[in-house]
Amino acid sequence: MRALLAFVTFAALAATPAPAAVYDAPAWDNDATTLGMQVEHFEKCRGRLAEKPRFKGCLQMWEDAKVRVSRMDRYVKLSPGDGRPERMAKLRSELEGATAFLGPEIKALGRVQVAKMMANDKALAVYRKDIEAFLR
């Protein structure tokens, strides 16, 4: 239970975006560090998506990671000469590897179990489109 609480707390903290007006090299570096931690934390999701709190926490962390990568990409496109494009490619590759299990595990849960989980937690509705894509 303590590990789950720490995981959910980490997911909530990781979801805090950097203010758009002050997104600079240090903010990018902070996002890169957070993304690296998220990549490591996805291992705690693997094989445990059937657990409702884990399912929700992992989807929240995945969504946050996607937003973070998008923000980081925009910065890299504006500042391509500082070595960040290579770092970004590496981070993106690590994230893709760390989250590769999401689709197969959500599909393995099946539509019925996923529908029950979503019916019991309305906050999961924001992930409906992505979940439907995984279930195809």
Q: Where are the domains of the chain?
A: 2-7+24-135
State which amino acid sits at residue 80.
P
**Average pLDDT rounded to a whole number, residues 80-103:** 93
Nearest Cα neighbor of 76 from 16, 31, 19 is 31
Q: Rounded to whole angstroms, how far apart are CA atoms 91 and 93?
A: 5
Q: Which ranges in 1-136 belong to alpha helices (H)?
A: 2-14, 25-41, 52-78, 84-99, 102-120, 128-135
Sign of CA dihedral 126, 117, 15, 67: negative
Q: How far is CA 121 from the centre of its chain?
A: 19
Per-residue pLDDT tens over the stretch 96-131: 999 999 999 999 999 999 999 999 999 999 999 999
Per-residue pLDDT tens over the stretch 16-56: 554 456 789 999 999 999 999 999 999 999 999 999 899 99
